[in-house]
Structures are given as C-alpha cells and as structure tokens.
Amino acid sequence: MDEALVDAFVLQHDLKNRNGGTFTSHAYDQIVKELKEAFPDKPIDKERVKNRMKYIKRGFGTCYDLFRNISGFGWNPITHMFEADSDVWDRLIKDHPEAAEWMNKPILHYDKLKRLYGKDRANGDSSESPEEMMQRLTQEDNQLEGDVISEIDHLLSRNEATLQDLDDDTSPDGRKKHKGKATKEEIQTEIMKGIQGIGEYIMKSTEAMAKAHNSQLAVPATEIWDVILALNFDPNMEMIAYRFLINNSVEVEALLGCPLEKRKDYLMRILPRS
C-alpha cells in the first residue's frame, strides 16, 4: 500500500497538481480515488492519506539528511541502498550510531521520495515544527511503538525551530505574553520531556508484552537495562535495544558472553533492521 501511495503522489506531482511544495485538494481527491480502487476493502480517506505520507516523508527526511553531505557513499538504485567501504561506514556510525540501520536495509521508495521532497529538504523546509510533532504524538492514540521511535530520531536531529512560548501565554499581571522564538535550551527541554515520557511508556509496555508471552528471561529485566546503560547509547537507541533484548533471551546470553569492549558493536549488528 505504501508503494501505491507513493506512486499516486508521484503521478500528481508529474501532473503538476501542486502549488510550490503543497499538493492541491484535487490532487488528494485523485489519490484517495486511486487507492480506493486499488484497495476497496481498506478504510481510505484524505486524512489517512495525509498522515501516512507524513510518516513516510519523515523517514525519508531522516535518511536524506544523514547521507546527503557525506562523501564516500554511493546510491545503488537496484538494491535501494547506500554503499561505501567499511571504513567509511565505521566513521559515519561513530558519529551517528543510528546510521548502522541502513548498512543492510533498503531505503524503500527513496528515488521517488527524493523527486517529491528532495528539493524541500535541501532548502531546509520541514513538514512539522517540534511543537506540532509533540502535540501529534500526544493526540494520536493509535500510534505504533516503532513509529514513536522514529519520531524520537527525527526530533533529536532537529537543532533549531520556531516555537510558541512553552509556558502559559498569560503573565502574572494578566497581560498576554509576546509569542516568539523559543531558545535552543527551551526546545531541548521540551523534547527531552517528551522522550522521557515515551521511553517510560515503551519500557512498561515491553515488560508487559514479555509477561504476556510468558518469556522466561535468563537475566532479570533490570540487569538488561543496566547492561545497556553501560554501553553509553543515546536515549532513543537505549529504548530500541532494551525492547529487543527483553524479548530475545538467547541474544542476551550472547551479548553477555562478549568482551566488554565488543558488546556495543555486537548489539548494533544484531538489532532489527525493520
């Protein structure tokens, strides 16, 4: 369905049913019509189409920003993967651990999405502010955990943005405060609050899922968490690693069998690629 969705957007792009970077209402009507004909048993409407494409676009944006200014990489349109020598990958992963995911995983629809949104990314445009993203994460009660993790990656990759004041907009004397640009520290504080809440949710839901499946862990969950903390991952990677290990007791034993200096490298290699 994602492929059909992207193809439908490309068609409307080629038909020039787009004003600047924004697709017209007619374009969305045609996309919905095309998808309904292709998938008559699926509940498809304009809002679902917009939300799904926003999610796909964010994933593309993360990859595009990661690789666009890095020398030594070449795009293979056959395998849909970026390729480079091992030492080039090692340097990139050292600076950006999340890049390890793309060593052996295709970036689906990358060429088509680059046609649709590559120019916007190069110009620095984005679909959502951090404030809008945090509000959407709070409001969407059907958000998948995997989507939440990708949201965290996207938020952490943003260094500057325009936000409304993070406090109440009324001052103690009853006057309206001036709305303007939040400081970098305020943005980072707001993002970290969201990450902490999402992280706590993932930890609780993962432990509940493990119990529901009667997982027999050879190592207590608290000790698994301590092992991950000792590897000095960034916060979002800690959550990904924890969720994976708590449901894979064999990999936990294998990880603990590695020398301390090799554990981080081993864990990065075994984490799921999808």
For residue 99, give both structure tokens: 């890049």
Q: Could you give the percent of the chain with pLDDT greater than 90?
A: 12
Residue 134 burial (10 A CB sphere; 0-12, 13-18, 19+): buried
Instruction: Say if pTM beats, i.e. exceeds, 0.75.
Output: no
The mean predicted confidence, pLDDT, of the chain is 74
Residue entry with tokens 């004003």? 19
Span of 3-7, 131-135, 162-166, 260-264 with lowest mean pLDDT = 162-166
Read off φ and ψ for residue 27, nearest 5 degrees: -60, -45
Q: Are 274 and 101 in contact (CB under 8 A)?
A: no
Q: Cα separation of 185 and 63, whole Å?
A: 26
Residue entry with tokens 């048993």? 41
